[in-house]
Amino acid sequence: LLSHGVKKIFVKCIDEDGSLQNVFGNRESDSSEEIPINERFALAKEITQIEGNLPVSYVPVEGDYVIAVRNDKKKKIRLLEELGAGGEGSAYKTNAEGFVAKIYKPEKITRLRHEKLKLMLTKDIDCEGVCFPTALVLNQRKEFVGYLMKAASGRDLGKSVFMPMLLKKYFPRWNKIDTVKLCVTILQKLKYLHDRNVILGDINPYNILVVSPTEVYFVDTDSYQVEGFICPVGMPLFTAPELQKKTYGLRTLGNENFAVATLLFMIMHPGKPPYAMQDGEGIIENIIKGDFSYPFRALK
């Protein structure tokens, strides 16, 4: 995958009888055909383009009440303590147990984002640990300001598993079996999303939170690619060679598989980028050239 171009990912396990079995069943069939239409997004050939911002008179803050809306059902909820802030906005704990609200900054409240979230809410996406939007959030004047999602917990991969010293600090009893279990847990969630034609796009260690090898949370899901609504950002380290130094457009599962393989490599070799090598060129140039120091060689 990392050294020979785009290939499918197969995950196998050894059962109690010592036989090698597919973790995810028969990958030769098109599993997306088995997904109900109410859970599966359509495949798009063109990027959805919607310009302009939505007018908003005020952005709610800690202590304010907002309105959660889905399928014409409305619920008044309160923003409690601020959990964190980023470039797009802030996340708040709410009085709706187990749910968090993401409130955007005024300049991030766009027509494109609003339409994308409305589309995301048309499908029944329900995977344990995937914090997919569950409702739009409006201010008291019924203006769109954000969305509601299930709460997450844990430490992000980038500041735990990817750093050997922090891995030992936060997960002192982990061994290689635990890291393999973590990989399988992440792959199960990715398969759930991919089967429903959801592409993450921006796969990076800071959007995956880890509690244990079997309890993992995906956050910042509003950036995922659904239909013609692309994910416009990404980390070069996790970007496939054919997309390097280009503006991100519609991604394919092939593009995504490179990022997935890189992520798995860095979990199994904590924090070590697969294309970083001593006396080599920069990581991006190595990716473009396919200059990989760990090629697969079949045993004779």
Q: Give the pLDDT confidence of 29-77 residue by residue, as tens digits.
A: 455 558 999 999 999 999 999 999 999 999 999 999 999 999 989 999 9
Q: What is the pLDDT of residue 34?
A: 86
Q: Is the per-residue pLDDT at 176 higher than 80?
A: yes
In this structure, are residues 196 and 10 in contact, taking their beta carbons and an 8 Å threshold?
A: no
Q: Is the per-residue pLDDT at 17 higher than 70?
A: no
Per-residue pLDDT averaged across 1-17, rounded?
57
Q: What is the pLDDT of residue 201?
A: 95
Residues in the chain: 300
Token pair belonging to 221: 């899901």
Residue scoring higher pLDDT (249 or 7): 249
Q: What is the pLDDT of residue 282?
A: 86
Q: What is the pLDDT of residue 291?
A: 83
Per-residue pLDDT averaged across 9-36, rounded?
62
Among 288, 213, 220, 297, residue whose Cα is nearest residue 258: 288
Q: Is the per-residue pLDDT at 24 higher than 60?
A: no
Q: Give the pLDDT confidence of 73-89 residue by residue, as tens digits.
A: 999 999 999 999 989 99
**Mean pLDDT for all residues in the chain:** 90
Q: Give the pLDDT confidence of 122-167 residue by residue, as tens digits.
A: 999 999 999 999 999 999 999 999 999 999 999 999 999 999 999 9
Q: What is the pLDDT of residue 72?
A: 87
Residue scoring higher pLDDT (230 or 279): 230
Q: What is the pLDDT of residue 272?
A: 86
Q: Give the pLDDT confidence of 233-280 residue by residue, as tens digits.
A: 999 999 999 999 999 999 999 999 999 999 999 999 988 888 887 666
Longest Cα–Cα distance of the chain, Å, equals 70
CA 113 – CA 66 distance, rounded (Å): 18
Q: Is the per-residue pLDDT at 169 higher than 60?
A: yes
Torsion on CA atoms 157, 158, 160, 165, rounded to nearest 10: 140
Q: Is the per-residue pLDDT at 93 higher than 90?
A: yes
Per-residue pLDDT averaged across 163-183, rounded?
95
Q: What is the pLDDT of residue 90?
A: 97
Phi then psi for 155, rounded to 5 degrees? -110, 140
**Where residue 2 falls among pLDDT bands split at 50, 70, 90?**
low
Among 185, 195, 245, 191, residue whose Cα is nearest residue 216: 185
Q: Is the per-residue pLDDT at 12 higher than 70?
A: no
